[in-house]
Amino acid sequence: MMKKRVIGVIGLGHVGAHVAFTLGVTGAADIVKLCDVREQKLISERQDLMDAVRFMPHRVNYVIAKYEELGDCDIIINAIGKIELLVTHNRDTEMNFTVAQVADFIPRVMAGGFQGIFINITNPCDVVTDLIAKLSGLPKGHVFGTGTGLDSSRLVSAIAQQTGLDHKSITAYMMGEHGNAQMVPWSLIEFGGKPLSELEKDPRFVFNKDEIKERTIKAGWVTYVGKGCTEYGICSTAVALANAVLHDEKRIMAASCPLDGEYGEKGIFAGCPAVIGAAGVEQVMEYTLTAEELAEFRKCCSTIRENIKRAEAVWR
């Protein structure tokens, strides 16, 4: 009998529910396990999702599960949060709530025998991803976060709008913290393999770099102000990462990755381009940054370290 692809989603708010739907509508999973502390929310979301199954490309079954029942999942995607805390426009505001929640349920998930890949969305993403890695004891690379994957997509979108080129023809990454302390390594930006530095005679490729960076960082808040949440971009990021794992794509994407000396940083999670495959983060891509870019990245990492210390005070 062919093995079914099983993915668990923890937290069925705006983001988690969209992740669950996208896993089905893209045919990524055969079984999606739904986990949330709100019983009626689970019942209602499952009903709505099962009503949509007839119109999905492949058969998928949505199953309500407790934390301890996620042990057979190939991947678990953590999407818990408290969206109303983001009125400050600072993802760190969620920290006390999300850290306490994650510290409570990770031991329960692991008690169920989970040995798969853990993808974290929950904010502050790098901090919570670090916490999941510590509490789960899973092998290096088997825990990672969406991190600057979404921010990189926002950067590419801003560049595409100015140049008129298709998003898929542009290679660009945001690095560092998934938050206000993130940076743009302009030296890595390419268009079909041609570096930005060779195209700047064309006015389409002359960027107001400060404005583009600020627009990228604030893009999530533009979405949040009118909707009270973000949904499509982040669920697409998470499902793309999940697909890279399920199909062993060896795809280079930005994610919140464990650093072990790359860029001079060690012992933290930060947003970097990485090879994503069946073993999760299989390689952090260590590109040659300019001295200014490297200094800015390491400053981002200092912010993450400070937040990890604050988080540890909550859960220890």
Q: How many CA atoms within 13 Å lie on the side-chain side of 164? A: 3
Name residue 216's amino acid: T
Task: Give which of 266, 285, 307 is closest to 185, Cα–Cα.
Answer: 285
Is residue 11 within 8 Å of 78, Cβ to Cβ? Answer: yes
Distances (CA, A) of 213 to 174, 207, 274: 9, 10, 21
C-alpha 10/C-alpha 76 separation (Å) is 7
CB 29 within 8 A of CB 6: yes
How many C-beta atoms surround the C-beta of residue 247 within 10 A?
A: 13
Q: Is the bond into 203 cis (omega within 30 degrees of 0)?
A: no
- Gap between the Cα atoms of 209 and 214, Å rounded: 9
Question: Is 178 among the residues known to form the active site?
Answer: yes
Q: Which of 14, 18, 178, 247 is catalytic?
A: 178
DSSP at 167 = G
Distance between CA atoms of residues 94 and 112, nearest Å: 27
Taking alpha carbons only, the member of 120, 128, 87 closest to residue 304 is: 128
CB atoms within 10 A of CB 256: 32
Do strands 117-120 and 143-145 pair parallel, antiparallel, or not at all (unpaired)? parallel
| Strand 280-284 relative to strand 266-277, pairing | antiparallel
Largest CA distance in the chain: 59
Which residue in this structure is represented by tokens 């409570």? 104
- Location of structure tokens 């920290």: 95
Annotated catalytic residues are: 178
